[in-house]
Structure 1
């Protein structure tokens, strides 16, 4: 019995071990392949945590779909978009025999996608690898996948031509290769893929070539997007054969010739976009018979002649963009019968005649822009009869008559611009108080009457421009209720009476221009709320009394004109607190001494016409009898002694300076033959010419890494020369044998910039070395750094359009470093002082002294031994992890965007213990977004400014996983301005002025 029991114990143990083995190996083969794929990638810790090898099937795992029809636990789809996966395309996925769909978009898959990697995906129907880091040629083997229906490879860095094999897809219906680096021509062989329904090759740098007429043979095609493809020549008439086409986009090319009449044969077309080409001739008749047409955009071409009468007869037509052409004649009468028309943009043409009287009566108009034409007659009284109108822009025409009363019932109106016409009469009272109005621009007309007290109801009014009309009466006290008012310009009218005290409580006021009126009384006191006021112009009125000392407490005031009034008293000493670009108090009755800061000849014209003013400015006032013409001999003697001592001191300083410069130049010039020059571009100068320019008189900057000189060469070219600081002997030992900081900075700069060629990264011409002296020669940037301009009195040079351009330029430079360099480069010190500005305020990313190459390893980003970066720009996680990756640059760039929007530096005593990011977030939470926007910016662009603010906050997210890739940031910034001009179909197929295409398939980004 005992022996029998002993024999059963090993048997029981074997059974237990076998059961355990079965548990370990319970996962089916598809799950094993998925785990293999996961192991080949770098996966964030929080992602795919439910991929458990103890499960029997992977069907409940994140991103995995199964289909019982294909077999028990058979995986048919893998969908893992935007979870920060990194590494090569996981070939293990293609070992799953039933896999039909792969979506890895919005990750960091790369760098290569080889034919071998995809060849085994024989069952694949859908492949989406858009928004990744793939480079090199498109794999030939993709065309051999027998079941492939949908292929989306947008926003990568694929290069070379589209391979001929792509003309042999068997079942492909959708091909999208947008935003790559594809070259060659748009290939005619794609016409061989007869199953194609969508073809999108937009925004690739193809060589200039015609649009292949063979594409007209793709009779199943529904979408043809070839925007930004370098297309030249005429639009082929063969496109008229595409009877199933719904969307045609050939915009932003160099197409010439006429719009072919055959194009009106696309009977299913919904939207046609031909804007930004060089098309000529007349718009053909026939578009009116297209029953599905909802939008046309032929803007920015050279089209001439009249707008066809039948154009507005298309029954579903909603949007017409024909602006910036050479169109003539009147607006067709048929426009008044367009039952679906919501958006009409015809500005910058040569249209004339009068507008149809019933225009707007039958159309749900939302936006009408007829500016910059020669249209005459009255504004149609029915233009807002449907109550949908939000924008009415008719500036720079010859319109006459009264502003229609119907506009006062147009409760959705946001922007009205009727300036520079011949309008007359009173403004309807209700127009002043429209609740959603943000811009009311009526300047340069013949309008009369008063500013109605109803204006107190204009809760959203930001800009009120009434200049050069015939308005009378006083400014109503109700103006103080318009809490969002940024600009009030009413110069050149006949306004009278005092300034209402309520005006002093407008916290958002940035510009107050009331020049050349008949206003009187004393200037306002208690104006400390004007913290954002940058311009105050009250010249040529009848103001009296003293200049308020409180003006000196306004933090951003840089334009002050109080000339041509009857002001008395002294010029307040507090005005010395201001940094004024324009200052004028001439032609008043001021008296007394001048503040010392202004008692110079530079301000002479600021004080003319005030006989009572005293100062040392020659010619400002007559010799005062209070100054004795005879001076004591002792006084003359003391002055002579002082002058003699000053001469001796200046002579001593000049001698010392000459000796120092001679020593410094002799050190640089010694042993010239031993200087080593390494060039990175073709040079027209030698190292000796550079050395001759290293004079202290040429120093234009000095920073942590060295001193910068401006060098004007013999050929007239200007370059910037950085001389890196040297360290004392023994520094290498102190640095742990790793080399001096100067050596490391020099090597990083040369290694990084020497191989980079990008329009938004500063160009490094060459480097020069000799012993411990190291020189770097760059292209010269005449406007200095963004930080210097933005946070100084020169900030007025940066209007919103300039700031937006700088933001986009810098983003494109960083995107190149992160996505287009192989391996990628992390800057590590992105800040406004390292963004340089050329003569046209184009931006270049500069200073790569601490840049690092990102080495892809299975262990993730490499750690640094020290923190690089600048206070206020360092990402939160960088301080405690020392991990180097692109996310830290993106955070820093987010801070730069916030600087551009707020005008404030990254750290400031105003913030207390907070930095700019925290200050913006807390201020928005407590007071609203208006309290963080730079008061110097034109709030006409408020929507764009808010969008860029949102992008900046997204980039500066405290969680790295939430920060978008720089390529995505570039795209979001482009969409900020694109949304003003490119309406698209919404998700219901309806064209709307509020929804715009986002090619990432993630909806509107901002």
Structure 2
């Protein structure tokens, strides 16, 4: 009893656990309904009297009622909390950049005191509630960056005082609605990046007399800007980019005297740039790039106090007006890919903080202006493919702000200023294909940020300074076609990140230094046409990623290292040296013959590099006797071998047949397979073994994967386990599933001496090999699109239709095989996981799932992968199809393809990532597929669509590119029309 009495005594003395007011209790319900992994709401303590001091909460200073909830980027997730609407005096609710998901409920309109509702950059889906205009005080509504679908509700025309409407970056359909003209209080209208059906800008929108910002980029608009827009007298920003607007640039914009920004890029505007710019005294940014404009750049446009001028990728010609140099605010000018001539204004950059100058691919000539970095702000200087001449101004050698310099393919000459070599922030220095002379300065050691140094095809001379070995960030060093002399610098072996080293066609001498094996990232080594000597180092054979090796036309001597057989080379050239001895067996083939010609000491009958040399006749009888004896031994051996093999073959076939397992009705004998496993039939190889092409007696062709034997002499247990599991996993998965886009497994064999799988043969090989070879340009867009859809359907089958589901875990272009009609099929299930196995403990490091460039970012903090990881990898495959680029490329630096595409889209726009081989006729569909790929590579797995959704999106993209008559779900013909009844634009 005593302990009980003591407990009651203490309990009665404890004050109530909470005295929180009613609004605080509502917010506690909000906290309970949301997931808060970052503990952003950790100080929402129920023991407090009031929530006014909680994170994100603001209260009225007089009434102490909650007036605003502002929680940006707080990592909150869950459905929209309805309890917010019980706060009677809540005027501002801002939750941008979180993970609020599901649909936005109609009950949100119960927040009747709100003046601001910001749910941008969340995961909202479904239609926009029609009841939102019921909030009488709402002035600012921002739903940008979600996945909202359907049309903009017609009720939005009844907003009473709305000033800001943000619906950009959703999945809205319908058209840009004219009924929004009824909301005359609107100041900002943001509808960009929605897949609206093709339509014109509604003339009624010209009634929005208070409008200041109109952002309708990539809204599938066509036609011309309506004349009624001349009434938008308060408009400061007009962005109609990335549409299909046509005609000439409308002169009505000269009546919009408040304009600060005009974005017209990536449309179909034609004709000359009109006159009348002097009226736009407030204009700071003008971008009419990627149109079809012709003629000269107006002088009056250049007399404006512009901050940025973008007119690239047009057909402009004539001279750049000198008046542009008088603009006091100009910090960015991009005029590349035009036909502009003459010299750049001498005073360009003298009066303005110029940061970016890109006039590449024009016909400019004359000298580089000396004052480009006059204000010390120049970051990018891009002058490639012009005819500039003269020397680099000495002043640029003191421009510490520079980070990217490209002067390729001009007629520049003279010595490069010493300071220019050592600019500390330059990451790219491209001076190739000019007439520069002089030495590479020792000051280059100061360029510690340099990743690409390209000075090929010039007249540089002297030795390569040892200081270049201190550039630890250097990825590419190309200096071919110069007059560089002296020894190969020993310090180059310290460049651990170096991927390309091209010093060909110089006058270098001496040996390749020891320690070259430390260049572990090197994939291209070209030292051809120099005066190098000594033996080829064995260490080169340890450069595991090297695929291009050219040491031709030097004075190398000695034997060819056998370690070169460790390399997987696409190019090998050791011709025209003084090499002796034999050729490594892997290269003793006719296909490599030209790689060894011009070495008088090399002799190998397989490639016919040498003729038989017979000494004096006294030794002839010895040779004859040897041949006769060898013939006798050979005949006896053949007879003995035939007798022995008759019995052995019967035994071996019986043993193999007992281990043979088929999954389909076969039209060939199992024993034929073994006869085809010769080195001449190899068509590929990988970590698990070699793949052979087998042509059978009935004319059928199959592919045979022979799994590598486990190496019991020093192999780790992990590697042995991998071989075993890789075989068994493929049998377990491919043996059970049937789908037109999954490669067929005909049969398998598993004995103590061999493990092999027999597949259907895919004559066009893998997508990766075809796309990234010299034949990649032959893959037209319709074929690429079909491949993407086929592969998506195969993965969707694995994820959604297999019971239990299958996660591939190594989706990449090399594992997508193509049949004779370029139909795609998913292959290589060696690391796949089935059902609950996906959620088991992470595998050992010897079986890391995925390939470099395709691995989802969440793999950085967990070794577990799931179907979302497959979707990320498939997104990278889509980017490969759209860009034509490899998943890992030296042009990307440390980034992969996914990061490069995202960065390029932000800085340069969509056109800059497209494969130039693709027909622009399909541009709209290509953009749609690109968008799907970007969804798949979302950094957060929860944001990635399911494979079933990816298939649906691709099918919709296909329909949008078909003729105006198509079939509906019932198989009946369904006509497609345009808003105005015309046949222009994309299909609705």
TM-score, reference length from structure 1: 0.69
2:542 aligns to what?
Answer: 553
Q: Pick closer, same or farther for the CA change 1:187–1:436 going to 2, 3 Å.
A: same
Cα separation, 1, equivalents of 2:168 and 2:834: 30
- After TM superposition, list the pairs within 5 Å mapping 1:666-705 onto structure 2: 668=665
- After TM superposition, list the pairs within 5 Å mapping 1:365-764 onto structure 2: 365-625=354-614, 628=623, 630-640=625-635, 652=649, 656=653, 668=665
Contact 1:834 1:845 in 2 (8 A): no
User: 1:616 offset after TM fit, Å?
Assistant: 2.9
Cα separation, 1, equivalents of 2:277 and 2:299: 10
Cα separation, 2, equivalents of 1:488 and 1:508: 11
User: 1:271 offset after TM fit, Å?
Assistant: 2.1
User: 1:895 offset after TM fit, Å?
Assistant: 10
Contact 2:187 2:212 in 1 (8 A): yes
2:229 aligns to what?
Answer: 239
1:536 alignment partner, SS class: strand
Cα separation, 1, equivalents of 2:281 and 2:171: 38
Cα separation, 2, equivalents of 1:431 and 1:892: 46
Contact 2:734 2:745 in 1 (8 A): no
1:496 alignment partner, SS class: strand
- CA displacement, residues 96-115 of structure 1 (integer Å, 9 cap, x when unaligned): 22222223344443422232
Cα separation, 2, equivalents of 1:613 and 1:174: 79
1:89 to 77, 80, 101: 80
1:503 alignment partner, SS class: helix
Pick which of 384-393 and 135-144 moved more. 384-393
2:343 aligned with 1:354, yes or no?
yes
2:57 aligned with 1:130, yes or no?
no
User: 1:145 offset after TM fit, Å?
Assistant: 1.0
Q: Which runs of 5+ in 2 are unaligned?
A: 1-7, 616-621, 668-672, 696-700, 706-727, 747-758, 778-783, 880-885, 911-938, 941-988
User: 1:615 offset after TM fit, Å?
Assistant: 1.9
1:212 aligns to what?
Answer: 202
What RMSD, in angstroms, separates the aligned Cα atoms of the two structures? 5.5
Cα separation, 2, equivalents of 1:778 and 1:107: 48
2:69 to 70, 78, 82: 78
Q: Pick closer, same or farther for the CA change 1:876–1:530 going to 2, 3 Å.
A: closer
User: 1:420 offset after TM fit, Å?
Assistant: 1.2
Contact 1:467 1:492 in 2 (8 A): yes
Cα separation, 1, equivalents of 2:284 and 2:303: 11
Contact 2:730 2:828 in 1 (8 A): no
Contact 1:867 1:882 in 2 (8 A): no
User: 1:510 offset after TM fit, Å?
Assistant: 2.4
Contact 1:781 1:836 in 2 (8 A): no
Contact 2:812 2:874 in 1 (8 A): no
User: 1:319 offset after TM fit, Å?
Assistant: 1.3
User: 1:139 offset after TM fit, Å?
Assistant: 0.7
- CA displacement, residues 842-883 of structure 1 (integer Å, 9 cap, x when unaligned): 99999898688xxxxxxxxx999845888546999999x999
1:905 aligns to what?
Answer: none
Cα separation, 2, equivalents of 1:505 and 1:841: 47
1:192 to 177, 182, 185: 182
2:890 aligns to what?
Answer: 938
Cα separation, 1, equivalents of 2:298 and 2:651: 77
- CA displacement, residues 441-464 of structure 1 (integer Å, 9 cap, x when unaligned): 222222233333333333333222
Q: Pick closer, same or farther for the CA change 1:501–1:233 going to 2, 3 Å.
A: same
Cα separation, 1, equivalents of 2:702 and 2:61: 69
1:28 aligns to what?
Answer: 21
Q: Pick closer, same or farther for the CA change 1:314–1:668 going to 2, 3 Å.
A: same
- CA displacement, residues 896-946 of structure 1 (integer Å, 9 cap, x when unaligned): 999999xxxxxxxxxxxxxxxxxxxxxxxxxxxxxxxx998435x43xx45
- CA displacement, residues 109-163 of structure 1 (integer Å, 9 cap, x when unaligned): 3422232x22322112121222333322211100121011111112222211111
1:248 aligns to what?
Answer: 238
Contact 1:566 1:589 in 2 (8 A): yes
Cα separation, 1, equivalents of 2:593 and 2:650: 31
2:933 aligned with 1:981, yes or no?
no
Pick which of 80-89 and 211-220 moved more. 80-89
Q: Pick closer, same or farther for the CA change 1:322–1:644 going to 2, 3 Å.
A: farther
Cα separation, 2, equivalents of 1:151 and 1:781: 56
Cα separation, 2, equivalents of 1:349 and 1:422: 19
2:918 aligns to what?
Answer: none
Q: Pick closer, same or farther for the CA change 1:846–1:237 going to 2, 3 Å.
A: farther
Cα separation, 1, equivalents of 2:685 and 2:571: 30
- CA displacement, residues 237-294 of structure 1 (integer Å, 9 cap, x when unaligned): 3333323222222221122222111113332222222222222122223334433322
2:166 aligns to what?
Answer: 176
1:155 to 136, 145, 148: 145
Q: Pick closer, same or farther for the CA change 1:562–1:307 going to 2, 3 Å.
A: same
Q: Pick closer, same or farther for the CA change 1:973–1:199 going to 2, 3 Å.
A: farther
2:254 aligned with 1:261, yes or no?
no
Q: Pick closer, same or farther for the CA change 1:569–1:669 going to 2, 3 Å.
A: closer
2:510 alignment partner, SS class: strand
2:52 aligned with 1:59, yes or no?
yes
1:133 alignment partner, SS class: coil
Contact 1:749 1:849 in 2 (8 A): no
User: 1:59 offset after TM fit, Å?
Assistant: 2.8
Contact 2:349 2:371 in 1 (8 A): yes
Cα separation, 2, equivalents of 1:424 and 1:261: 45
1:322 to 308, 311, 321: 311
Contact 1:764 1:779 in 2 (8 A): no
Contact 2:193 2:217 in 1 (8 A): yes
Contact 2:766 2:813 in 1 (8 A): no
Cα separation, 2, equivalents of 1:794 and 1:149: 56
2:69 alignment partner, SS class: strand
User: 1:603 offset after TM fit, Å?
Assistant: 1.8
Cα separation, 2, equivalents of 1:238 and 1:43: 49
1:954 aligns to what?
Answer: none
Cα separation, 2, equivalents of 1:553 and 1:187: 64
Q: Pick closer, same or farther for the CA change 1:28–1:700 going to 2, 3 Å.
A: farther
Pick which of 583-592 and 518-527 moved more. 518-527
2:121 aligned with 1:121, yes or no?
no
- CA displacement, residues 575-604 of structure 1 (integer Å, 9 cap, x when unaligned): 233222211111122212222332222321
2:360 aligned with 1:363, yes or no?
no
- CA displacement, residues 307-354 of structure 1 (integer Å, 9 cap, x when unaligned): 111112122x11111111111111111122122211111111111122
2:134 aligned with 1:144, yes or no?
yes
Contact 1:462 1:486 in 2 (8 A): yes
Cα separation, 1, equivalents of 2:385 and 2:197: 40
Q: Pick closer, same or farther for the CA change 1:502–1:888 going to 2, 3 Å.
A: same
Q: Pick closer, same or farther for the CA change 1:80–1:406 going to 2, 3 Å.
A: closer
Cα separation, 2, equivalents of 1:710 and 1:95: 71
- CA displacement, residues 944-965 of structure 1 (integer Å, 9 cap, x when unaligned): x45x69xxxxxxxxxxxxxxxx
TM-score, reference length from structure 2: 0.70
Cα separation, 2, equivalents of 1:468 and 1:339: 38
Contact 1:873 1:895 in 2 (8 A): no
Q: Pick closer, same or farther for the CA change 1:528–1:780 going to 2, 3 Å.
A: closer
2:89 aligned with 1:98, yes or no?
yes
Cα separation, 2, equivalents of 1:526 and 1:339: 54
Q: What is the total number of aligned residue pairs between the two structures? A: 817
2:670 aligns to what?
Answer: none
